Structure 1
């Protein structure tokens, strides 16, 4: 059983590394072709790439352990019996898990900004101007709090395994885009009244620390008053044709 568990963990880890490096290299190539889309014009985070990748390797190992352990437990029958995979159970499981994970991440992230725990999150905030490699540049306690969902979800929801893996894939790719430091998706769908966000949303969190704790949606930030007060105006200016650097430099 131990060998089976280790094989499961290893397979998940290898898959996550493949997604991490493939997404990172693709975004790096694309960003180099569009320097005008850089959000922070006067800062460069690329010099931290080697350090961010090094920390990401250990963080992804832990994240993969959490995800792999839940998957292994479900396969052994130690969790609630999952819904049979079908045309409706897969998207339902994905959406429900997505909404719950977004809340989990928001409150876990707020907790990590609490002074007694911030030391566990400080490593991630060394990336003041984040890059595609910053997404997983975190310590183990930080990763455990924010990604603990990927272990717990199997034991509380009868969710098909494919739904959880799809969520983890979406979270990884969207997180790397959100940390990329370049804006491509600012528009009406990423500002009020829409709950969706764009890369500028999380970039503001890294540059100013006190706002925008959400991961996928802005719902909790708006409800609890932690959304950056100038975020929606910045997005509107980008809609009007301003470059991300100019649109965000006024705040």
Structure 2
């Protein structure tokens, strides 16, 4: 394929990839927002993990930043498509090409790899020489909302997006697995920024609460910074000593609140 054909293929594919990325973001936000809007205040009250106050014009600014992120994500997604067409990555379409066992196992493998990528790049983005120019945009939302999930600077959006083309250089992934991961990623991201713990109490009190990140986990990261860097799992924070020292006790308090349906008194949210 000559350079003209490659550019023509990219120009043809990018609009659809951009639209799919935009819809994925908007549908993820809409799904979580619908739960928050339709649920009763009695159900939501003990689930609030909000530490600081959402600024008046914050959501609109987050949405505009997210549109920029969608452009970056779709541009990188177009390179993944071109890599597949040129045989440069290990993206595949036939379900049985690598066996059905790998087809099923590749999804949790992808989650573990993505979590490791996110944790270590996230810590790098908090380095004092990198934070201001790259990651500060995301942390302008000291009280994140569902719209914060994609509110990145351009450099950070590239860091987030590069995971997939990098992993596809070495790990064969079926299109259905990549699609499921993209949906999982945006839904978990939106939930983690929602300020509400939407998962059942028994999950939070059990295995999920011990090993998976919660909305509280990421809320504390935005409120305090420099702790709780994990994306899906808490193990990197535990192994590396970066879990907030009060996280376990606050999670236990939250579980207790959900048990009797009465939120314990908490300090008032701090204004920006």
TM-score computed with the length of structure 1 as normaliser: 0.89
Q: CA deviation at 1:43?
A: 1.4
Q: Show the counterpart of 1:18.
A: 23
Q: Show the counterpart of 1:184.
A: 198
Which runs of 5 or more residues in structure 1 are unaligned? none
Q: Show the counterpart of 2:9.
A: 4
Deviates more, 1:85-94 or 1:14-23: 85-94
Inter-CA distance 246–108: structure 2 relative to 1 (3 Å threshold): farther
Inter-CA distance 19–81: structure 2 relative to 1 (3 Å threshold): closer
Q: Point out which structure has higher relative CO (alpha carbons under 8 A, 6+ apart).
A: 2
1:214, 1:221 within 8 Å by CA — same for their partners in 2?
A: yes
1:187, 1:238 within 8 Å by CA — same for their partners in 2?
A: no
Q: Show the counterpart of 1:148.
A: 162
Q: Show the counterpart of 1:228.
A: 244
Q: CA deviation at 1:84?
A: 4.2
Inter-CA distance 98–244: structure 2 relative to 1 (3 Å threshold): farther
SS state at 2:233 partner? coil
Q: Rg: which structure is higher?
A: 2
SS state at 1:117 partner? helix
Q: Show the counterpart of 2:225.
A: 209
1:38, 1:244 within 8 Å by CA — same for their partners in 2?
A: no
> How many residues are paired up?
248
Return the alpha-carbon distance in structure 1 between the equivalents of residues 81 and 102 of structure 2. 17
SS state at 1:156 partner? coil
SS state at 1:135 partner? helix
Superposition pairs for residues 1-251 of structure 1, below 5 Å? 1=5, 2-32=7-37, 33=39, 34=41, 35-36=44-45, 37-40=47-50, 43-45=53-55, 47-80=57-90, 82=92, 84-86=94-96, 87-119=100-132, 120-185=134-199, 186-192=204-210, 195-241=211-257, 246=264, 249=267
Return the alpha-carbon distance in structure 2 between the equivalents of residues 27 and 71 of structure 1. 29
Deviates more, 1:203-212 or 1:61-70: 61-70
Return the alpha-carbon distance in structure 2 between the equivalents of residues 248 and 154 of structure 1. 45
Inter-CA distance 218–42: structure 2 relative to 1 (3 Å threshold): closer
Return the alpha-carbon distance in structure 2 between the equivalents of residues 139 and 81 of structure 1. 28
1:83, 1:89 within 8 Å by CA — same for their partners in 2?
A: no
TM-score computed with the length of structure 2 as normaliser: 0.82
For the aligned residues, what is the CA RMSD? Answer: 2.4
Q: CA deviation at 1:97?
A: 1.5
